[in-house]
């Protein structure tokens, strides 16, 4: 391969590079002045946040100038930028949630913030990958970071258990993934999505090897997004990890893995839709049903949100089952809506935690509306949105995704999904019932140290966007498809 | 044309929402109350422009507004009003100030939140009646659950939380499948435009499934027997103003859904399942009336009478002929006024005695004559006494139902007798005979004061206006109803012609 053929267009990777640079800057900033009269440590989250915002701006700037790079192993199209924005939203809100939280969990804040940024970079690369090897690289980059983050509170047994469990099962999942990739390579002679697609089109693929490979890849992806039956780790890890990390995982991992999922299935396996579409549909139906049914019985808020996150993975998978453009755009819309409403829900959990613990019982919300009416109102928005009640973002997200399913001929799957969202309404509504109509107990209070300005900002941002995305859904689709200018112009024209 | 306001329908729909925001911002309870009243009153006055600026004789949508809302799925923000929805809109804006005024007098707990929720509810209800886009309709339809849920759950009676949760989950689950159905319709017809859909023939398979899913959502909302079990709970537990709005307006969202969407968009499926719906409606009429007959609690009596009354409305809708449908539209308004007024009267009594058990009362004629007299008028309006509003609607529906199916009409007529029976029985227990309980004495029970009269009298006045001059209303209702029915039968004919081309040709030759 001569250098002229070597395509190394780095502009395509700018967002991921931005995150890596920010991570390095945060690490250095941590080292500059660790003690003394003006330690730099309090500035770390704001440095990290600035990095995220700059990267988001870069990402928005790149919309509309798609580029393929590294011999077709990565591509930066509108969907990659949309995914970047989802991940960056998650990262930014996580950083805001961590400002007060992390110093109590672990003193090494410099590492924490740089890890968040590096994990985000990995997720963003995954959304751009068009080659199984790059997908694997990205998977490992963000997974390794998340293993560490899950076990951040070293003195806590639960946290260590979560990290260990996540690491062991995650390693298994990675192994499955690599094994599957090897099979696919054996069957088609390539790991690049377009070349795999060509091989299938030309009929050069060994069907048995290929289906074994694809099945293993689905298992690997399934672990990452916690599809049933690969979901066992989710409740324990979600409960044990520090809450901001859990919140970040629930959004970032889902977004990245689903992005790779859709690219692989639509670009490499487009011709095989008939055979794996049904498999994905069944997985989706199982995932949402089991997730919702299990969530009905949870008393811990984090476990409830863990099972609810499994259910939401099922809803998103409904969009991907079709492998058509509307389903994927729907899934991306779902992810951004989910990022805001779920971050909001986790911020509520953080508020309810007590010094030194990393979970809260749902009963602590009993009667909270009497003591914290504003918080109850915001929490109500998040939970109604998660339940899919209009006019909040969660409704439009479901509507968009299920529309794609109906369009693709999967009406029965959309029907199962809607019935599931009725089940989901039951447990989200129960929380709202308890907040407003139950009698407050001695447990119903918020410790002053949990309440901080960044947390309030997170709650408000999440609520504002949960409402705004529901009322003005076109802002997001317009932004990720045509850029910021178009949104502004569109907004003016609508008036 | 006196005054015209641009974007009139948007203004009407979202004025209460603006009011809700303002109510949460102003400081004192007193200001909040009067601001809420001013908002609902203002909305009513603005909505009167619909009446004054009405294009008489025009069948189609008026005051139409349209904008793209979400292009990828062809969802529009489209509002419009025709003869079918006009009076439901006016009913909503008319009942709201009354409900709010009642609350000003009797609600003292967390007034700001209460008033804000009432105003949010008004926006959602108006949105349902004014939407010309299926998705927009659905958004408002579902959004109305949230404020009502809190109104029942926070300000209701003893069992309020149970009733609120039951209300929410029942209706939410009922409409879950409607989402899928409206998507199927969209991908079959290519639009969410309600008016366009009424002109688009759909394949029979789509019609069947979509009709069943839509019907389930609306049957729960209406409620049609056997989906009515949430209603008595919700009504008995809801605060009085909540009951007025629930019975007066919210239930109409179900029958309106049938009339505007399910019946005209899926005409053949509606023909096929019409007898089933008609049977359920008749069962509802008789069952609701019989259960009302044995109620000990005045409020649950009124709640069950609602099941019966909405059975009439459904019967008119199902019959799908000019009299039936026009009667149904007017009867929706009548039921809103009469039952709203009944709940108001029950609420006024409850605030005095803090009980609604009929056995606690008796002899009210002697102690509170003004109240009792007005109660009698309201009860008679609900029972369908000629000269009052209820008669006009029920009679017109009966005419329509008779030409649809004489059996249904005869059975429904039996319901009229039952209605007179339970209303008069209730009145006898309430008002006649000697005063047995000293709490009902003249000394202990106060008659209506001026403020309370101001709530009841406009309703009573409208009973007479509708009862004596029904054509004021039918003139605006009929053209739209006839146009809708004509479009619908053209669709059915077209479909039949496609199915049986040979037969159609022979008919043409003749």
Strands A67-69 and A74-76: antiparallel
**Residues of B with CB below 8 A from A473's CB?**
69-70
Enter the tokens of residue B83.
Answer: 């003869």
Query: Would you call A399 and B69 a contact, using CB atoms and an 8 Å cutoff?
Result: no
**CB contact (8 A) between residue A425 and residue B68:** no
Tokens read off for A29: 């900033």
Chosen from A399, A430, A495 to mutate, greatest number of chain B CBs within 10 A? A399
Q: What angle do CA A123, A128, A131 make, to 5 degrees?
A: 105
How far apart, in whole angstroms, are the C-alpha atoms of residue B44 and residue B161? 32
User: Could you tell me the two tokens for A155?
Assistant: 């003195």
A398 has a chain B CB within 8 A of its CB: yes
Inspect the interface and report whether the beta carbons of A406 and B187 lie closer than 8 Å: yes
In a domain, A1, yes or no: no
Whole-angstrom distance, CA of residue B262 vs CA of residue B274: 11
Alpha-carbon gap: B70 to the closest alpha carbon of chain A (Å) = 5
- Please report the pLDDT score of residue B367 as a whole number: 83
pLDDT at B508: 53
A467 CB within 8 Å of a chain B CB: no
Nearest CA in chain A to B164: A433
In the structure, what pLDDT confidence band is assigned to residue B1 with cuts at 50, 70 and 90?
Answer: very low
Q: A396 and B70: CB-CB below 8 Å? A: yes
- When computed from its CA atoms, the radius of gyration of chain A, rounded to whole angstroms, is 22
- Please state, in angstroms and rounded to a whole number, the distance separating the CA atoms of residues A80 and B158: 54
CB contact under 8 A, B146 and A436: no
How many CA atoms lie within 13 Å of B283's alpha carbon, on the beta-carbon side?
12
Instruction: Please determine, for residue A363, whether its predicted confidence score (pLDDT) is greater than 90.
Output: no
Name every residue whose Cβ is closer than 8 Å to that of residue A144 and which is 6 or more positions away in sequence.
none
Q: How far apart are the first and last CA of chain A?
A: 55
Å from A321 to nearest chain B CA? 16
pLDDT level of residue A38 (50, 70, 90 thresholds): low
- β-strand partners of B59: none
Q: Quick one: pLDDT at residue B506? A: 55
Whether B179 sits inside 8 A of A402 (CB atoms) is yes
Tens of pLDDT, residue by residue over B347-372, are: 888 888 888 888 888 878 888 888 88
Cβ contact A403–B176 (<8 Å): no
Confidence check: pLDDT of A2 > 50: no
- Whether the per-residue pLDDT at B183 is higher than 50: the answer is yes
> What pLDDT sits at residue B509?
52
Residues in chain A with CB shorter than 8 Å from the CB of B73 are 399-400, 403
- Nearest by Cα to A54 from A2, A18, A106, A99: A18
Question: Percentage of chain B surpassing pLDDT 70?
Answer: 97
The reply to whether residue B180 touches residue A398, judged by beta carbons under 8 angstroms, is no
Looking at residues B257-274, what average pLDDT do you find? 89
The answer to whether A179 and A216 have CB atoms below 8 angstroms apart is yes
Chain B: residue nearest A394 by CA? B139
Taking only the tens place, the pLDDT of each residue in A228-258 is: 888 888 888 988 888 999 999 999 998 999 8
Alpha-carbon gap: B12 to the closest alpha carbon of chain A (Å): 18
Q: Do A403 and B73 touch (CB under 8 A)?
A: yes
Q: Which residues of A touch B67 (CB under 8 A)?
A: 494
Using a pLDDT cut of 70, give the percent of chain A over it: 95
pLDDT at B169: 85
Residue A493 has pLDDT above 70, yes or no: no
Compare B501 and B93 and report the one with higher pLDDT.
B93
Residue B133 dihedral angles phi and psi, to the nearest 5°: -125, 135
User: Are the Cβ atoms of A395 and B68 closer than 8 angstroms?
Assistant: no
Residue A4 belongs to some domain of the structure: no
In a domain, A227, yes or no: yes
Cite the DSSP H helix spans in B156-266.
Answer: 160-189, 194-198, 204-221, 230-237, 240-245, 252-257, 263-265
Q: What is the pLDDT of residue B298?
A: 87
Query: What's the average model confidence in pLDDT over B105-120?
Result: 85
**ipTM here:** 0.84
A419 in reach of chain B (CB within 8 A): yes
- Note the pLDDT of residue A312: 93
Residue at A2 is within a domain? no
| pLDDT level of residue B92 (50, 70, 90 thresholds) | very high
Looking at the DSSP bridge assignments, the partners of residue B297 are B357
* Distance (Å, whole) CA B383 – CA B427: 12
Rounded to an integer, what distance in angstroms lies between the CA atom of residue B304 and that of residue B287? 9
A402 touches chain B (CB under 8 A): yes
A42 in Cβ contact with A34 (< 8 Å)? no
**How far apart, in Å, do the first and last CA atoms of chain B sit?**
49
**Nearest by Cα to A154 from A84, A215, A241:** A241
**A456: pLDDT strictly greater than 50:** yes
DSSP structure string for B117-133: HHHHHHHHHHHHHHB-B
For the question of whether the overall pTM of this predicted structure is more than 0.90, the answer is: no
| Chain A residue numbers touching B72 (CB-CB < 8 A) | 326, 329, 400, 477
User: CB–CB of B176 and A426 under 8 A?
Assistant: no
Nearest CA in chain B to A399: B179
| Cβ–Cβ < 8 Å for A174, A303 | no
Is residue A387 in some structural domain? yes
Segment B315-336 shows an average pLDDT of: 90
Does pLDDT of A3 surpass 60?
A: no
pLDDT digits (tens, 9 = 90+) for A177-233: 999 999 999 988 888 888 888 888 888 888 888 889 999 999 998 988 888 888 888
pLDDT of residue A265: 86
Which of A379, A406, A471, A489 to probe by mutation at the B interface, max B CB count within 10 Å?
A406
Residue A494 has pLDDT above 70, yes or no: no
A100, pLDDT greater than 90: no
Which span out of A40-44, A261-265, B199-203, B313-317 was modeled with the highest average pLDDT? B313-317
Q: Please report the pLDDT score of residue B105 as a whole number.
A: 84
Residues of A whose CB is below 8 A from B154? 436-437
Q: Which of B297, B473, B292, B468 is nearest to B383 (CA)?
A: B292
* Residue-wise pLDDT tens digits, B235-244: 888 888 888 8
Instruction: Assign A492 a pLDDT band (cuts: 50, 70, 90).
Output: low
Domain ranges of chain B: 8-509
Burial class from Cβ neighbours inside 10 Å (0-12, 13-18, 19+) for residue A204 reads exposed
**Is A448:A404 a contact under the CB 8 Å cutoff?**
no
Query: Per residue in A395-447, pLDDT tens?
Result: 989 999 998 898 888 889 999 999 898 888 888 888 888 888 888 887 777 77
| Within a domain: A237 | yes
Chain B residues within 8 Å of chain A (Cβ atoms): 67-73, 113, 135, 138-140, 142-143, 145-146, 150, 153-154, 160-161, 164-165, 168-169, 172-173, 176-177, 179-180, 183-184, 186-187
How close A414 comes to chain B (CA, Å)? Answer: 6
Residue B437: what are its φ and ψ, rounded to 5°? -105, 120
Residue A5's pLDDT is: 56
Query: Domain for residue A150, yes or no?
Result: yes
Q: How confident is the model at residue A36 (pLDDT cuts 50, 70, 90)?
A: low
- Predicted confidence band at A4 (pLDDT cuts at 50, 70, 90)? very low
Nearest CB among A326, A402, A433 relative to B180 is that of A402
Task: Return the axis-axis angle of helices A243-263 and A132-150, rounded to nearest 10°.
Answer: 170
Q: Is A488 on the interface with B (CB under 8 A)?
A: no
- In chain A, residues 92-121 whose CB comes closer than 8 Å to chain B: none
Residue A289 clears pLDDT 90, i.e. is over it: yes
How far apart are the C-alpha atoms of A95 and A73, rounded to whole Å?
A: 31
Q: In degrees to the nearest 10, what's the CA dihedral of A415, A421, A423, A429?
A: -150
What tokens were used for A358?
């990393």
- Distance from the B162 Cα atom to the nearest Cα atom in chain A, whole angstroms: 10
Whole-number average pLDDT of chain A: 86
> Is the pLDDT higher at B304 or at A270?
B304
How many structural domains compose chain A? Answer: 1
Q: Which range of residues forms the domain containing residue A478?
A: 10-494
Mean of pLDDT values over A268-296: 87
CA atoms of A415 and B179, how far apart (whole Å): 8
State yes or no: pLDDT of B510 exceeds 90.
no
């Amino acid at each position: 391969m001569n250098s002229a053929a070597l395509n190394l267009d780095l502009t395509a990777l700018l967002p991921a590079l931005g995150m890596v640079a920010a991570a390095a800057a945060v690490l250095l900033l941590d080292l500059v002045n660790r003690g003394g009269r003006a330690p730099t440590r309090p500035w770390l989250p704001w440095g990290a946040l600035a990095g995220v915002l700059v990267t988001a701006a870069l990402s928005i700037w790149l919309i509309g100038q798609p580029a393929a790079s590294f011999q077709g192993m990565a591509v930066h199209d509108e969907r990659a930028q949309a995914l970047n924005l989802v991940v960056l939203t998650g990262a930014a809100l996580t950083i805001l949630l961590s400002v007060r939280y992390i110093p109590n969990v672990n003193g090494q804040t410099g590492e924490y913030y740089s890890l968040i940024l590096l994990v985000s970079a990995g997720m963003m690369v995954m959304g751009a990958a068009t080659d199984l090897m790059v997908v694997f690289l990205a998977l490992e980059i963000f997974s390794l970071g998340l293993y560490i983050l899950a076990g951040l509170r070293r003195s806590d047994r639960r946290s260590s258990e979560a990290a260990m469990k996540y690491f062991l099962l995650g390693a298994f999942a990675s192994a499955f993934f690599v094994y599957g990739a090897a099979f696919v390579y054996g069957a088609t002679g390539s790991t690049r999505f377009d070349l795999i697609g060509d091989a299938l089109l030309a009929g050069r693929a060994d069907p048995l090897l290929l289906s074994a490979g694809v099945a293993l890849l689905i298992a690997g992806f399934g672990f990452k997004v916690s599809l049933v039956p690969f979901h066992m780790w989710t409740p324990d890890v979600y409960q044990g990890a520090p809450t901001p990390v859990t919140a970040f995982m629930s959004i970032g991992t889902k977004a990245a893995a689903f992005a790779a999922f859709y690219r692989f299935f639509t670009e490499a396996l487009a011709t095989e839709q008939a055979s794996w579409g049904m498999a994905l549909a069944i997985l989706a139906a199982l995932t949402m049903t089991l997730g919702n049914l299990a969530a009905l019985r949870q008393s811990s808020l984090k476990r409830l949100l863990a099972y609810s996150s499994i259910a939401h993975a099922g809803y998103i998978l409904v969009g991907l089952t079709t492998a058509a453009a509307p389903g994927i755009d729907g899934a991306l819309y779902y992810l951004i809506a989910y990022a805001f409403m779920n971050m909001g829900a986790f911020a509520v959990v953080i508020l309810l935690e007590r010094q030194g613990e990393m979970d809260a019982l749902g009963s602590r919300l009993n009667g909270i509306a009497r003591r914290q009416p504003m918080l109850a109102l915001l929490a109500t928005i998040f939970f109604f949105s998660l339940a899919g009640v209009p006019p909040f973002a969660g409704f439009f997200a479901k509507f968009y995704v299920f529309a794609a399913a109906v369009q693709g001929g999967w009406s029965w799957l959309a029907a199962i999904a809607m019935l599931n969202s009725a089940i989901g309404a039951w447990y989200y509504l129960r929380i709202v019932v308890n907040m407003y109509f139950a009698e407050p107990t001695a447990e119903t209070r918020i410790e002053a140290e949990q309440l901080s300005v960044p947390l309030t900002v997170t709650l408000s941002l999440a609520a504002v966007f949960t409402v705004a995305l529901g009322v003005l859904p076109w802002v997001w689709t317009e932004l990720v498809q045509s850029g910021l200018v178009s949104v502004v112009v569109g907004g003016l024209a609508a008036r | 044309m006196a005054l015209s306001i641009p974007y009139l329908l948007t203004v009407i729909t979202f004025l209460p929402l603006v009011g809700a925001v303002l109510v949460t911002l102003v400081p004192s309870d007193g200001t909040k109350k009067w601001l809420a009243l001013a908002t609902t009153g203002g909305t009513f006055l603005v909505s009167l422009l619909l009446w004054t600026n009405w294009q008489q004789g025009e069948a189609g949508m008026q005051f139409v507004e349209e904008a793209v809302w979400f292009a990828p799925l062809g969802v529009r923000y489209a509002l419009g009003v025709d003869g079918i929805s006009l009076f439901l809109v006016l009913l909503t804006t008319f009942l709201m100030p009354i409900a709010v005024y009642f609350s000003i007098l009797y609600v003292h707990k967390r007034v700001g939140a209460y008033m804000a929720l009432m105003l949010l509810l008004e926006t959602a209800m108006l949105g349902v009646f004014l939407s010309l886009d299926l998705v927009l309709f659905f958004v408002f339809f579902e959004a109305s659950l949230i404020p009502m849920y809190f109104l029942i759950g926070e300000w209701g009676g003893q069992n309020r939380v149970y009733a609120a949760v039951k209300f929410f989950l029942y209706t939410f689950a009922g409409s879950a499948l409607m989402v899928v159905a409206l998507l199927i319709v969209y991908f079959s017809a290519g639009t969410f435009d309600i008016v366009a859909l009424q002109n688009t023939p759909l394949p029979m398979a789509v019609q069947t499934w979509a009709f069943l899913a839509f019907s389930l959502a609306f049957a729960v909302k209406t409620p049609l027997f056997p989906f009515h079990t949430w209603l008595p709970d919700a009504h008995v537990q809801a605060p009085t103003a909540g009951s007025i709005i629930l019975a007066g307006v919210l239930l109409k969202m179900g029958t309106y859904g049938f009339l505007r969407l399910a019946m005209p968009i899926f005409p053949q499926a509606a023909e096929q399942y019409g007898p089933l719906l008609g049977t359920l409606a008749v069962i509802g009429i008789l069952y609701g009336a019989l259960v009302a007959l044995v109620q000990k609690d005045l409020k649950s009596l009124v709640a069950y009478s609602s099941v019966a009354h909405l059975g009439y409305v459904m019967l008119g809708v199902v019959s799908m002929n000019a009299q039936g449908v026009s009667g149904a539209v007017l009867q929706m308004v009548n039921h809103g006024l009469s039952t709203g007024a009944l709940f108001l009267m029950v609420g006024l009594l409850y605030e005095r005695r803090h009980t609604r058990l009929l056995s606690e009362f008796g002899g009210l004629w002697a102690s509170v004559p003004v109240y009792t007299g007005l109660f009698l008028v309201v009860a008679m309006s609900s029972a369908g006494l000629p000269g009052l509003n209820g008669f006009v609607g029920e009679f017109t529906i009966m005419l329509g139902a008779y030409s649809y199916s004489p059996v249904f009409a005869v059975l429904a007529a039996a319901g009229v007798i039952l209605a007179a029976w339970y209303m008069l029985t209730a009145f006898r227990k309430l008002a006649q005979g000697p005063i047995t309980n000293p709490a009902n004495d003249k000394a202990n029970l106060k008659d209506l004061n001026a403020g309370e009269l101001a709530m009841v009298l406009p309703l009573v006045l409208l009973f007479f206006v509708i009862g004596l001059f029904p054509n004021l209303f039918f003139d605006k209702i009929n053209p739209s109803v006839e146009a809708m029915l004509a479009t619908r039968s053209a669709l059915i004919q077209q479909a039949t012609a496609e199915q049986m081309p040979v037969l159609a040709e022979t008919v043409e030759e003749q």
